[in-house]
């Protein structure tokens, strides 16, 4: 199993599209960072509009913490899209180049082969999220400094710089889990469709569909709480004034179950299907 | 010549009488006491109590120098109320006004003089103010200021002891419009349509200011 994982890592690192994906992600992050800076002052103006009448403001809210928060808001759509292309590509490329047939001629169990792909997809996703978090914090703090964070979630919530950094770090963890879910889902889609273009279209559709459903309010019922699309904004729970840990644990546990379910389905289908 | 002298004397006495009647002596006495302060600085603790705002307790440093605007400094982002920190009463005395004696009122067992301040200059930013004065200790205990643009402010002053000229705790009550933003702030869609913003009535908010470590310099 270890050698399979090692081989998968090697394949991922050898393929050119991995680096194109990483490069485009950092480019997107830089663009978001600067657009967020210009957008930030507008948003602060809007949020503080009714307070201007009664208060003077001392200090600035347009700082690194606000920019990381803005990056998080935008990143959770672009990041899974690119991750899904790279991750699903690790399998579709094997079908296209027929290397999968060569591998299957070796004494390799199909489920182990597929499991190693999932494990490498998860490790790659974690690495990318970690790199993005480090660069987001690093660039934002270096250029715009630290400071209090303002967030509007039904109420205007202010967090001290220290508290904001703590919550933003946790938001990356929760968001990272959602990214793992999308990576795993894309690999399962690749198992079903085999061909790269079809897989990408379906994966992109899956992501867009999830994002649309995330915004639809299904009312206060079990479906609204358990449906996978509804779990992908768990990171926002860290910006309620009192962190709703119970809900976060529940959502993260559910996401783990969905990840395991999609992996299980992928491995099962791969095991059942003929290679060719 | 006699007539001119008589007219001059009449006008002078009439003016003097009007002035004496217009501005309450207790208020002038308090103003005089406040004017004796050359400068002060203090640590400020700010606690915001507004239903739709969650903000941790903030600290700032406040400093005042006679003839200059109050200055604030803080490492955090702080909300400084527009009213409630004008201890020198310069805001009220900026433009001409008259006062009306409203008698005495009891607050927490203490008898306070109630006066109305009515500006006679259009440039004043308030239409009427009601002040409750502790005439014995020469200080303002409570005030209600009806501003022309920013609603009504009610200020409650608490002093550590009967000799202090400056309050140790101020409660500022003000009117604030509740902002309703059509989407969760930058949830997934970062566009906020200003036209869709709707206000849902006026709410009252409070801010508690606690001052400590006063450093006062009086005019010699």
Nearest to A50 among B176, B184, B185 (CB): B176
The per-residue pLDDT for range A9-64, each reduced to its tens digit, is: 888 888 888 899 889 888 988 888 888 888 778 778 877 877 777 788 888 888 89
Q: What pLDDT, on a 0 to 100 scale, did the predictor assign at position A121?
A: 93
For chain B, the domains span 22-218
Q: What pLDDT, on a 0 to 100 scale, did the predictor assign at position B189?
A: 40
User: A168, A182, A165, A163: which is closest to A228 by C-alpha?
Assistant: A182
The per-residue pLDDT for range A219-231, each reduced to its tens digit, is: 767 777 777 777 8
CB contact under 8 A, A43 and B79: no
CB contact under 8 A, B179 and A159: no
Q: What are B137's two structure tokens?
A: 């200790």
Mean pLDDT within B117-139: 91
For chain B, the average pLDDT equals 80
**Residue A261 or residue B21, greater confidence:** A261
How many angstroms away from the CA of B183 is the closest CA of chain A? 9
Q: Judge residue A97's burial from the number of C-beta atoms within 10 Å of its C-beta, 0-12 exposed, 13-18 middle, 19 or more buried.
A: exposed
> At residue A271, does pLDDT exceed 90?
no
Q: What pLDDT, on a 0 to 100 scale, did the predictor assign at position A262?
A: 93
Nearest to B194 among A46, A148, A158 (CB): A46
Mutation site for A-interface testing, chosen from B63, B177, B188, B199 by largest number of A Cβ within 10 Å? B188
Chain B residues in contact with A148 by the CB 8 A cut-off are 76-77
How many angstroms away from the CA of B169 is the closest CA of chain A? 18
Q: What pLDDT, on a 0 to 100 scale, did the predictor assign at position B21?
A: 52
Do the Cβ atoms of B215 and B41 come closer than 8 Å?
yes
Q: What pLDDT, on a 0 to 100 scale, did the predictor assign at position B101?
A: 92
Q: What's this model's pTM, rounded to 2 decimal places?
A: 0.82
Q: What pLDDT, on a 0 to 100 scale, did the predictor assign at position B188?
A: 39
Q: What pLDDT, on a 0 to 100 scale, did the predictor assign at position A263?
A: 93
How many angstroms away from the CA of B141 is the closest CA of chain A? 21
The per-residue pLDDT for range B3-16, each reduced to its tens digit, is: 655 555 455 444 44
Q: Judge residue B80's burial from the number of C-beta atoms within 10 Å of its C-beta, 0-12 exposed, 13-18 middle, 19 or more buried.
A: buried
Q: What pLDDT, on a 0 to 100 scale, did the predictor assign at position A142?
A: 92
Q: What are B170's two structure tokens?
A: 């101020």
pLDDT band at A70 (very low <50, low <70, confident <90, very high): confident
Mean pLDDT within A190-211: 89
Our count of domains for chain A comes to: 1
Chain B contact present for A217, CB below 8 A? no
Calculate what percentage of chain A has a pLDDT beyond 70: 99
Residue B59 φ then ψ, to 5° = -125, 150
Chain A contact present for B82, CB below 8 A? yes
Calculate what percentage of chain B has a pLDDT beyond 90: 35
User: A91, A74, A234: which is closest to B189 by C-alpha?
Assistant: A74
**Residue B198 or residue B96, greater confidence:** B96
Calculate what percentage of chain A has a pLDDT beyond 90: 37
Mean pLDDT within B77-83: 83
How many angstroms away from the CA of A58 is the closest CA of chain B? 5
Chain A residues in contact with B76 by the CB 8 A cut-off are 59, 148, 160-161
Instruction: Pick the residue from chain B with its C-alpha nearest to A235.
Output: B187
Protein fold of B22-218 = outer membrane lipoprotein receptor (LolB), chain A (2.50.20)
Q: What pLDDT, on a 0 to 100 scale, did the predictor assign at position B75?
A: 83
Instruction: Pick the residue from chain B with its C-alpha nearest to A211.
Output: B188
Q: What pLDDT, on a 0 to 100 scale, did the predictor assign at position B177?
A: 74
> At residue B220, does pLDDT exceed 90?
no
Query: What is the span of the domain harbouring residue A200?
Result: 2-272
Nearest to A59 among B53, B74, B205 (CB): B74
Chain B contact present for A241, CB below 8 A? yes
Q: What pLDDT, on a 0 to 100 scale, did the predictor assign at position B184?
A: 46
> At residue B116, does pLDDT exceed 60?
yes
CB contact under 8 A, B188 and A47: no
Q: What pLDDT, on a 0 to 100 scale, did the predictor assign at position A122?
A: 95
**Residue A139 or residue B20, greater confidence:** A139
Nearest to B188 among A43, A49, A77 (CB): A77
Q: Cβ atoms within 10 A of the Cβ of A162, count?
A: 11
The per-residue pLDDT for range B165-203, each reduced to its tens digit, is: 889 999 999 887 766 554 444 443 434 444 444 545 667
Do the Cβ atoms of B155 and B143 come closer than 8 Å?
yes
Mean pLDDT within B133-150: 90
Chain B contact present for A53, CB below 8 A? yes
CB contact under 8 A, A54 and B77: no
Do the Cβ atoms of A47 and B185 come closer than 8 Å?
yes
Mean pLDDT within A170-197: 92
CB contact under 8 A, B185 and A153: yes
Chain B contact present for A19, CB below 8 A? no
Pairing between strand B97-107 and B110-119? antiparallel
3-state SS, residue A77:
helix
Q: What pLDDT, on a 0 to 100 scale, did the predictor assign at position B7?
A: 56
Nearest to A54 among B75, B150, B178 (CB): B150
pLDDT band at A159 (very low <50, low <70, confident <90, very high): very high
CA–CA gap between residue B174 and residue B85 (Å, rounded): 14
CB contact under 8 A, A53 and B176: yes
């Amino acid at each position: 199993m270890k050698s399979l994982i090692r081989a998968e890592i090697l394949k991922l690192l050898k393929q050119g599209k991995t680096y194109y994906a990483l490069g485009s992600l950092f480019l997107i992050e830089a663009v978001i960072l600067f657009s967020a800076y210009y957008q930030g002052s507008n948003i602060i103006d809007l949020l503080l509009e009714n307070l201007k009448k009664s208060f003077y403001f001392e200090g600035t809210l347009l700082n690194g913490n606000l920019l990381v928060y803005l990056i998080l808001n935008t990143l959770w759509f672009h990041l899974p899209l690119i991750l899904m292309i790279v991750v699903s590509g690790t399998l579709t490329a094997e079908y296209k180049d027929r290397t999968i047939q060569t591998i299957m001629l070796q004494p390799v169990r199909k489920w182990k082969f597929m499991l190693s792909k999932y494990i490498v997809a998860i490790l790659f996703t974690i690495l990318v999220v970690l790199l993005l978090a480090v660069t987001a914090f690093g660039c934002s703090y270096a250029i715009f400094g630290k400071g209090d964070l303002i967030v509007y979630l039904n109420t205007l919530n202010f967090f001290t710089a220290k508290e904001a950094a703590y919550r933003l770090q946790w938001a990356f963890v929760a968001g990272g889990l959602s990214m793992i879910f999308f990576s795993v889902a894309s690999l399962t889609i690749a198992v079903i469709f085999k061909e790269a273009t079809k897989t990408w279209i379906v994966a992109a559709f899956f992501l867009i569909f999830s994002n649309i459903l995330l915004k639809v309010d299904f009312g206060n019922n079990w479906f609204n709480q358990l449906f996978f699309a509804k779990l992908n904004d768990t990171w926002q729970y860290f910006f309620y004034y009192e962190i709703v840990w119970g809900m976060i644990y529940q959502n993260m546990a559910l996401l783990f179950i969905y990840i395991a379910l999609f992996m299980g389905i992928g491995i099962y289908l791969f095991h059942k299907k003929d290679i060719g | 010549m006699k007539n001119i002298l008589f007219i001059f004397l009449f006008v002078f006495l009439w003016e003097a009488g009007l002035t004496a009647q217009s501005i309450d002596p207790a208020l002038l006495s308090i103003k005089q006491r406040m004017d004796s302060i050359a400068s002060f600085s203090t640590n400020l603790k700010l606690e915001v109590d507004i239903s739709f705002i969650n903000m941790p307790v903030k600290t700032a440093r406040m400093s005042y120098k006679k003839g200059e605007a109050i200055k604030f400094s803080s490492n955090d982002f702080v909300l400084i109320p527009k009213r409630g920190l004008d201890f020198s009463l310069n805001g009220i005395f900026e433009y001409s006004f008259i006062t009306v004696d409203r008698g005495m009122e009891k607050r927490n067992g203490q008898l306070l003089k109630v006066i109305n301040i009515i500006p006679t200059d259009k440039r004043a930013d308030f239409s009427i103010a009601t002040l409750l004065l502790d005439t014995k200790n020469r200080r303002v205990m409570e005030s209600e200021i009806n501003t022309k643009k920013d609603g009504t402010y009610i200020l409650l002053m608490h002093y550590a002891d009967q000799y202090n000229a400056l309050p140790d705790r101020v409660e500022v009550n003000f009117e604030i419009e509740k902002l309703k933003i059509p989407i969760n702030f930058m949830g997934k869609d970062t566009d906020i349509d200003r036209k869709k913003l709707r206000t849902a009535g006026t709410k009252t908010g409070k801010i508690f200011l606690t001052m400590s470590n006063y450093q006062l310099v009086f005019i010699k």
